[in-house]
Amino acid sequence: MRIDVLTLFPKMFETTMTESILGKAQEKNLLDLHIQNFREFTTDKHRHVDDYPYGGGAGMLLQVQPIDDTLQAIKKETPETKKRIILLDPAGKTFDQKMAESFSEEDHLVFICGHYEGYDERIRSLVTDEVSLGDYVLTGGELAAMVMIDATVRLLPDALGNEQSAPGDSYSTGLLEHPQYTRPAVYKEMAVPEVLMNGNHKLIEQWQQKESLRRTYLRRPDLLEKMEWTKEMKIMLDEIIEEENKRDLN
- Which residue in 1, 38, 74, 114 binds ligand SAM (CB under 6 A)? 114
- Specify the pairing of strand 2-7 against strand 108-112: parallel
Residues 116-135 that bind ligand SAM (CB under 6 A): 117-119, 132-134
Q: Which of 84, 89, 154, 211 is catalytic?
A: 154
Q: How far is the CB of 248 from ligand SAM (least distance, A)?
A: 36
Q: Which of 69, 117, 120, 177 is catalytic?
A: 117
Which residues are within 8 A (CB) of 127 and not within 5 positions of it... i.e. 6 or more apart?
Answer: 85, 86, 87, 112
- The smaller minimum CB distance to ligand SAM, of residues 115 and 178, is found at 115
Cα angle 23-102-224, degrees, rounded to a multiple of 5: 110
- The number of residues that bind ligand SAM (CB under 6 A) is 20
The answer to whether 7 and 13 have CB atoms below 8 angstroms apart is yes
In the chain, at which residue ranges do the beta strands (DSSP E only) sit? 2-7, 32-37, 50-51, 61-62, 83-94, 108-112, 118-119, 129-132, 186-187, 190-191
Whose CA is closest to 52, among 43, 63, 42, 37? 63
Q: How far is the CB of 116 from ligand SAM (least distance, A)?
A: 6
Three-state secondary structure call for residue 109: strand
SS3 content of the chain, % helix, strand, coil (to 5): 40, 15, 40
200 binds ligand SAM (CB under 6 A): no
94 binds ligand SAM (CB under 6 A): no
Q: Which of 89, 90, 211, 214 is catalytic?
A: 90
Three-state secondary structure call for residue 38: helix
Q: How far is the CB of 118 from ligand SAM (least distance, A)?
A: 4
For this structure, is 80 an active site residue?
no
Q: How far is the CB of 105 from ligand SAM (least distance, A)?
A: 21
Residues 25-84 that bind ligand SAM (CB under 6 A): none
Q: How far is the CB of 250 from ligand SAM (least distance, A)?
A: 42
- Tell me, residue by residue from 138 to 157, as one string, x for binding to ligand SAM by CB under 6 A and - for no binding: xxxx--x-------------
**Residues belonging to the active site:** 90, 117, 154, 169
The site for ligand SAM (CB under 6 A) is made up of 88-91, 113-115, 117-119, 132-134, 136-141, 144
